[in-house]
Amino acid sequence: MELIGNYKIEKKNYSYKFTTSKVVCWSLINEVFKISGDHLESSTEEDVSEASFINQLIFYFPRNLGIFFPNLQVLTLYSCGIKRISKFDLHGLRRLKEISLNGNHLVTLPNNLFESTPEIESVSFCRNKIKYIGPNIFDSLDNLRYANFKLNKNIDIVFKVDGKGPTLEEMKAYIAEFCQEIFHGQVNNYFDNLKGIFGKTFTARHSWSEPMESYMDFY
């Protein structure tokens, strides 16, 4: 599968083609294993600071971007049908400062999502379907200045440093009150159904709507 990503070097926009593979591991995962594109003369992938994917139905976060763009600071995936995201998707993006996944189909943001991206200052998840957010999701982000959760299922909040609206602590309190009723029963069902993995049939009462790593990462 190919997806087209725009990237920026020295304030000029260029285009990349990314080749991804679909790997079955609890769910489909897009892993980037090849890229092709033109650079400014003497520039390389290490010079790419911004990348964006717009209106491409890839459904799952493209992993391994950090292998190709180790200095990426701004990442946008807008209206790409993305259904889930985990800490593994962000591995290798340690210098990331801004991430935007507006207009996708995310329901859950796991607790340790940002543990490998501590430099993030801005996150945006506007117009998703978010119901559940890990209670300590922002603990690793000491420099967070902006968080946009507008127009979601259980949350409709924008936090800005020195701006109108809720403070960071107020936003955390809101998340703790309205976005935490999650997975207790489903996790129990998961352990009940473990034997199904080893040759028995799955019990019907577990939907498996999310892969195992999402359950385990939430707390």
Q: How many CB atoms lie within 10 A of CB 80?
A: 24
Alpha-carbon gap, residue 104 to 79, rounded angstroms: 5
Q: What is the pTM of this model?
A: 0.78
Q: What is the pLDDT of residue 192?
A: 47
| pLDDT of res. 24 | 35
| Element containing residue 118 per DSSP (H, E) | none
Q: 3-state class of 125 per DSSP?
A: coil
Structural domains in the chain (count):
1
**Quick one: CA torsion of 72, 75, 77, 78, rounded to 10 degrees?**
-150
pLDDT for res 47: 82
Strand order across the 158-160 sheet: 62-63, 27-37, 12-25, 2-9, 50-54, 74-78, 98-100, 122-124, 146-148, 158-160
The 10 Å CB-count burial string (b at 16+, else e) for 154-178 is bbebbbeeeeeebeeeebbebbeee
Question: What does the pLDDT read at residue 127?
Answer: 98
Report pLDDT for 51: 87
- CATH number for the domain spanning 24: value is 3.80.10.10
pLDDT for 105: 97
48: containing domain: 2-218
Instruction: Write the CA distances from 151 to 78, 80, 94, 104, 128, integer angstroms.
Output: 15, 17, 28, 11, 7
- pLDDT tens digit at each of 219 positions of the chain: 566 666 665 555 555 555 554 433 334 567 877 776 666 666 778 888 888 889 988 888 988 889 988 999 999 999 999 999 999 999 999 999 999 999 999 999 999 999 999 999 999 999 999 999 999 999 999 999 999 999 999 999 999 998 889 999 999 999 999 998 654 445 444 444 444 454 444 333 333 334 444 444 554
pLDDT at residue number 4: 63
